[in-house]
């Protein structure tokens, strides 16, 4: 054996048990109460909780946005992820102008290989420029990329598709057994409000939120869930931010649509009040932060049986200087915030410790559900003999203030620095190797591998 985690209180998405965890060749090789290691490194987890490594199925590393590029690449972004207990990320291939989907995929694999410190998978962003190669969707699925993201917003960035094209993509993806992810916000509502606000001289950060109300999200979800039902497609609503949006997902699911939602750590801890702060622009992301009632609805939706099955970070940070481009004009603020490192700390400290969700809810959202929905199981998303030895040890008593010094993203501020956690990951093991210990990254650049995912849509071939 290479490593034994002794005296673990193991929590998976479905069960909890006390055990030692024996690890060999990157896999869990033994689960029993009294493993006697010979020559293996021993890590005593007495009094701590051991959960499957987190799967953050929503990151944007090195993504071009609004005249710049998100600050973390596949090295710094995965270092940050691993230090927060994430052992697999799934990023989004954004094809460059003129690039085919296959070229974009090869480009992203080149960027990530040699840099990623934990395993990574990829989704495909399906933009207007990709419509000419819609018939190649099954080929992309066969290359281990069975999920395609479409946008109902961002016309000016070439991301938005109209309903007919969304419907065509849905049908094609469903036929290939894949999953359609949607950034669901109504471009029509948003553009009218932006125009009205800008012409009235309302350009502070709060007008970003006032231009992207909950109705914009709910309208788009109501529309795309119907499109998905008509195309028999399996649907994944990314970064859900509102109660009204959650209710639309619930309505669709009870009407027979195959749909689940993701929310993000920032929607679980902040409200639009932060836009009134001096550094309000640092909190600008889309969809925008909503009200306290929306935040409560997102926590409720994470409970067993709820439609919010996963928490992904939408990690897409920008430096303070870049956020300052929009000091006097919210439309110039690059959209996006960091988050991959705080998913597990926030779900544990703000969720489990405060009684909003259970340990099982946390593990389901951070590994069990993403592994099954995104085709990463059975090797990831659980702790079983034969599964990848991707684990996180959480010390329930460790208190950490989430300042820029503590977090590993490359940006020079922390939007989370008012948060003091009760409990924190103290060890991250990725395929049997310790990559984080006591807050220090101790892994190797480039050790992460591409994970070829399997199609999980209900119309699988
Ligand atoms: O504000 C968000 N969601 N930023 C992520 C990158 C993008 O623009 O989609
Ligand atoms: Zn995103």
In the predicted model, is pLDDT for residue 37 greater than 90? no
In the predicted model, is pLDDT for residue 458 greater than 60? no
Whole-number pLDDT of residue 461: 34
Cα separation of 74 and 118, whole Å? 9
Q: Which ligand does the CA of 160 lie closest to?
A: 1
In the predicted model, is pLDDT for residue 50 greater than 60? yes
Interval between CA 398 and ligand 2 midpoint (Å): 30
Interval between CA 432 and ligand 2 midpoint (Å): 30
Does residue 286 line the site of ligand 1, with CB under 6 A?
yes
Does residue 65 line the site of ligand 1, with CB under 6 A?
yes
Q: What is the 3-state secondary structure (H, E, C) of 147-162?
A: EEEEECCCHHHCCECC
Interval between CA 116 and ligand 1 midpoint (Å): 21
Pocket residue to mutate for ligand 1, from 93, 314, 411, most atoms within 8 A of Cβ: 314
Average pLDDT value for residue range 313-322: 98
Cα separation of 99 and 79, whole Å? 29
Instruction: Decide if 42 contacts 59 (C-beta within 8 A).
Output: no
Does residue 335 line the site of ligand 1, with CB under 6 A?
yes
List the strands of the sheet with 308-311, edge to edge. 54-59, 86-93, 119-125, 147-151, 179-183, 234-237, 259-263, 308-311
- Angle separating helix axes 214-231 and 163-175, nearest 10 degrees: 50
Range scoring the smallest mean pLDDT among 32-46, 166-180, 204-218, 337-351: 32-46
Average pLDDT value for residue range 300-308: 98
CA distances 436 to 79, 123, 348, Å, are 9, 26, 18
DSSP three-state, residue 183: strand
Mean pLDDT of the chain: 97
Neighbours of 3 (CB within 10 A): 20
Using CA atoms of 73, 77, 323, 193 in order, give the dihedral in degrees to the nearest 10. Answer: 100
C-beta pairs of 358-361 under 8 Å, 24+ apart in sequence: 358/303, 358/304, 359/11, 359/16, 359/49, 359/51, 360/11, 360/13, 360/14, 360/16, 360/304, 361/302, 361/303, 361/304
Confidence of residue 456 (pLDDT cuts 50, 70, 90): confident
Whole-number pLDDT of residue 460: 37
In the predicted model, is pLDDT for residue 23 greater than 60? yes
The model's pTM: 0.98
Average pLDDT value for residue range 29-38: 92
pLDDT digits (tens, 9 = 90+) for 85-111: 999 999 999 999 999 999 999 999 999
Confidence of residue 161 (pLDDT cuts 50, 70, 90): very high
pLDDT digits (tens, 9 = 90+) for 369-408: 999 999 998 999 999 999 999 999 999 999 999 999 999 9
Atom 3, ligand 1: which residue's CA is nearest?
A: 286
Average pLDDT value for residue range 271-287: 98
Does residue 336 line the site of ligand 1, with CB under 6 A?
yes
Write the CB contacts of 119 (distance below 8 Å, at least 6 apart in sequence): 87, 88, 89, 380, 388, 390, 430, 431, 448, 449, 450, 451
Place of tokens 């293996």: 40
Confidence of residue 8 (pLDDT cuts 50, 70, 90): very high
Confidence of residue 303 (pLDDT cuts 50, 70, 90): very high
Whole-number pLDDT of residue 45: 98
Cα separation of 316 and 224, whole Å? 24
Whole-number pLDDT of residue 38: 85
Percentage with pLDDT > 90 across the chain: 98
Neighbours of 441 (CB within 10 A): 18
Interval between CA 350 and ligand 2 midpoint (Å): 23
Interval between CA 10 and ligand 2 midpoint (Å): 31
């Amino acid at each position: 054996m290479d490593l034994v985690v002794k005296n673990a209180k193991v929590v998976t998405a479905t069960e909890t048990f006390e055990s030692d965890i024996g690890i060999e060749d990157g896999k869990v090789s033994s689960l029993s109460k009294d493993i006697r290691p010979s020559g293996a490194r021993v890590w005593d987890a007495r009094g701590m909780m051991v959960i499957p490594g987190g799967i953050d199925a929503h990151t944007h590393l090195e993504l071009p946005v609004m005249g710049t590029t998100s600050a973390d690449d596949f090295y710094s972004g995965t270092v940050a992820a691993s230090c927060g207990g994430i052992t697999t990320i799934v990023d989004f291939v954004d094809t460059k102008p003129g690039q085919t989907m296959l070229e974009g995929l090869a480009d992203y694999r080149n960027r990530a290989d040699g840099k990623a410190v934990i395993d990574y998978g990829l989704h495909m962003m399906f933009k207007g420029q990709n419509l000419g190669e819609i018939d190649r969707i099954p080929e992309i699925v066969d290359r281990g990329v069975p999920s395609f993201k479409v946008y109902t917003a961002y016309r000016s960035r070439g991301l938005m598709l109209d309903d007919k094209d969304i419907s065509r993509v849905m049908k094609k993806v469903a036929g290939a057994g894949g999953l359609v992810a949607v950034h669901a916000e109504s471009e029509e509502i948003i553009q009218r409000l932006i125009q009205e606000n800008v012409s009235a001289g309302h350009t502070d950060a709060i007008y970003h939120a006032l231009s992207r109300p909950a109705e914009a999200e709910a309208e788009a979800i109501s529309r795309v869930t119907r499109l998905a039902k008509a195309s028999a497609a399996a649907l994944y609503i990314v970064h859900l931010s509102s109660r009204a949006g959650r209710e639309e997902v619930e309505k669709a699911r009870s009407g027979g649509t195959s749909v689940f939602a993701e929310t993000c750590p920032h929607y679980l801890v902040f409200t639009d009040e932060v836009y009134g702060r001096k550094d309000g622009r640092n909190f600008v992301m889309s969809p925008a932060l909503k009200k306290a009632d929306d935040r409560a609805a997102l926590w409720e939706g994470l409970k067993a049986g709820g439609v919010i099955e996963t928490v992904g970070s939408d990690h897409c940070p920008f430096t303070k200087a870049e956020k300052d481009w929009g000091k006097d004009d919210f439309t110039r603020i690059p959209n996006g915030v960091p988050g991959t490192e705080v998913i597990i700390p926030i779900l544990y400290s703000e969720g489990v410790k405060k009684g909003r969700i259970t340990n099982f809810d946390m593990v389901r959202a951070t590994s069990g559900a993403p592994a099954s929905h995104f085709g990463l199981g059975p090797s990831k998303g659980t702790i079983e003999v034969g599964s990848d030895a991707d684990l996180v040890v959480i010390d329930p008593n460790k208190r950490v203030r989430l300042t820029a010094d503590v977090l590993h993203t490359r940006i020079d501020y922390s939007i989370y620095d008012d948060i003091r956690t009760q409990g924190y990951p103290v060890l991250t093991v990725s395929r049997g190797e310790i990559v984080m210990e006591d807050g220090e990254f101790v892994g190797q650049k480039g050790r992460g591998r591409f994970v070829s995912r399997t199609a999980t849509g209900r119309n699988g071939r």
